[in-house]
Structures are given as structure tokens and as C-alpha cells.
């Protein structure tokens, strides 16, 4: 569905949690991509950057790359986007590799000079910039459903460990049929659904309110189960 912005301009509706991730074809620093079809069966962290050769973005690229093996262990791939041409992306990646403590960026960075993909995903926020994407993060599940959306302004660098934690929490919720409480990390108690019948209510642990049902779930059990998704076992 499209929304009227003014009498001459139409913009697409921003994708929301629970939507199927909008499909697109694009060139990337790793070659052509049909997104998200080419990544079917994987969890995806799709993230945008305001621009190439910017300080905050550079630190985030290094941080994402340093965490890429951990994401891979939980069947998760990284895909970046910056409003710029592929040649600029490659030059920036070359600079990052040659920095002190630099790294070789292996995840794809989408060429989006036209801003078509950024607009399709609601990454352009006119209040911040008409030409640069904000720091958006879309966590997409193996069925191409958007499960989490995060937005950060250009001045605020993202916490990559928190994005990783969010993916683990989403996978834990999917695999075990639970929810995760505030500040949860793997190994801490999770939450099971509240009672829906009287007979369930009487079995509830009276140490907490009836709607709070905690359950122990070990870190080892979580990672053993979610890592099996990678091999399809």
C-alpha cells in the first residue's frame, strides 16, 4: 500500500514486524543478490549505514565483522546497505582492511545509489537526511518474516552484542515456545505462556503473580538446539 506524501509524491508503506521482507535485486560487494530469496533458510541481520567513509559506520563495520563467526554459528548472515555506488563501497572496504587493527569485510554491502532499497525498507528519514539512510536494523527469520526492527540516528553507534543477543532471544523463543524477560541473556530464566484455564491457574507457582511463569533453560540447551538449525538436524 502507498501513502500520499504530497500531491506529486507517493512513498511506499514502511515494512513492519510480522511482514514478509520486501524483495529486491541489487548489486553488492560480493556480487548480485536476490534478497531475501538467496538467503532462504537463514536468519538475516539486514542493516543500513548513512554513508561510506564515515567514522561511526567504520567502527560498526569492524565490530560486525569481528562478530560474524558468532552469527554464523547460529545460522545468521549479515547484509549491509549504504547509499552509495559499489566502487565507493569497495574503496571504503579497502581502507578498513588497511587500518591499524583493520579487518577484511566479508559480508555483502548493497549498492543503493538510487536509494530504491533504502526507501523500500523505510531507511530514509527526512528529518535526519533526505539522502542518507539512518542506522536501521531488520532481523528477518528463515521464512523471510521481519521479526525485529531497530532504528538509530547517525550519531549513535549500534551495540553489536545487543543485536546478537536479540537474534539468540528470537531463536530461543521460536525453538522453545517461550518469551524472554527484560535484560535476559542465555542461561537466565525464560517466561512461559500465562495460564488460560482455571486448572492451569491452580498449578501455578504461588511465589509469583499468576501471569508470570518462569522456567529454567540452560545456556547449553539453548545453543545446542539453535545451532542444530544450522545443520538442519
Quick one: 154 and 179 in the same domain?
no
Query: Which domain-ending residue is among 96, 130, 158?
Result: 158
pLDDT in tens, the chain (233 residues): 444 455 445 455 789 999 999 999 999 999 999 999 999 999 999 999 888 898 999 999 999 999 999 999 999 999 999 888 999 999 999 999 999 888 999 999 999 888 889 889 988 766 655 556 678 999 999 999 999 999 988 889 999 999 999 999 999 999 999 999 999 999 999 998 877 777 777 777 677 787 888 889 999 999 999 987 764 54
Query: What local confidence, expressed as pLDDT, does residue 193 receive?
Result: 84
**Cβ atoms 162, 153 nearer than 8 A:** no
**65 is known as an active-site residue:** no
Quick one: 209 and 141 in the same domain?
no
Quick one: 135 and 185 in the same domain?
no
Distance CA 102, CA 81 (A): 20
DSSP codes joined into one string, 94-147: HHHHHSTT-----S-EEE-TT-HHHHHTT---TTT-SSS--EEEEEE-TTSBEE
pTM of the full structure: 0.88
Domain that holds residue 214: 172-231
CATH of the domain at 58: 3.40.30.10
The cell numbers describing 13, all together, are 508503506
Query: What local confidence, expressed as pLDDT, does residue 1 receive?
Result: 41
The cell numbers describing 123, all together, are 531507511
3-state secondary structure of 29: coil
Q: Which of 26, 45, 57, 144 is catalytic?
A: 57
Quick one: 180 and 220 in the same domain?
yes
Distance CA 196, CA 230 (A): 34
DSSP codes joined into one string, 166-231: HHHHHHHHHHHT-B--TT--BTB-EEEPPP-SHHHHHTS-TTS-TT-EEE---HHHHHHHHHHHHH
Amino acid at each position: 500500500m502507498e501513502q500520499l506524501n504530497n500531491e506529486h509524491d507517493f512513498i511506499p508503506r514502511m515494512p513492519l514486524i510480522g511482514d514478509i521482507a520486501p524483495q529486491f535485486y541489487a548489486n553488492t560487494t560480493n556480487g548480485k543478490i536476490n534478497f531475501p530469496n538467496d538467503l532462504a533458510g537463514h536468519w538475516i541481520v539486514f542493516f543500513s549505514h548513512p554513508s561510506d567513509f564515515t567514522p561511526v559506520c567504520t567502527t560498526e563495520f569492524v565490530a560486525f565483522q569481528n562478530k560474524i563467526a558468532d552469527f554464523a554459528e547460529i545460522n545468521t548472515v549479515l547484509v549491509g546497505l549504504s547509499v552509495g555506488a559499489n566502487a565507493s563501497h569497495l574503496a571504503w572496504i579497502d581502507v578498513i582492511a588497511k587500518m591499524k587493527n583493520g579487518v577484511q569485510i566479508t559480508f555483502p554491502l548493497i549498492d543503493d545509489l538510487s536509494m530504491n532499497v533504502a526507501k523500500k525498507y523505510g531507511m530514509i528519514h527526512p528529518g535526519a537526511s533526505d539522502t542518507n539512510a539512518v542506522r536501521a536494523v531488520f532481523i528477518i527469520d528463515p521464512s523471510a518474516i521481519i521479526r525485529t526492527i531497530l532504528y538509530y540516528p547517525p550519531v549513535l553507534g549500534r551495540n553489536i552484542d545487543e543485536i546478537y543477543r536479540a537474534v539468540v532471544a528470537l531463536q530461543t523463543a521460536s525453538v522453545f515456545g517461550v518469551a524472554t524477560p527484560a535484560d535476559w541473556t542465555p542461561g537466565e530464566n525464560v517466561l512461559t505462556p500465562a495460564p488460560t484455564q482455571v486448572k492451569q491457574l491452580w498449578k501455578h507457582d504461588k511465589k509469583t503473580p499468576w501471569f508470570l511463569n518462569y522456567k529454567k533453560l540452560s545456556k547449553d540447551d539453548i545453543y545446542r538446539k539453535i545451532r542444530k538449525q544450522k545443520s538442519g538436524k
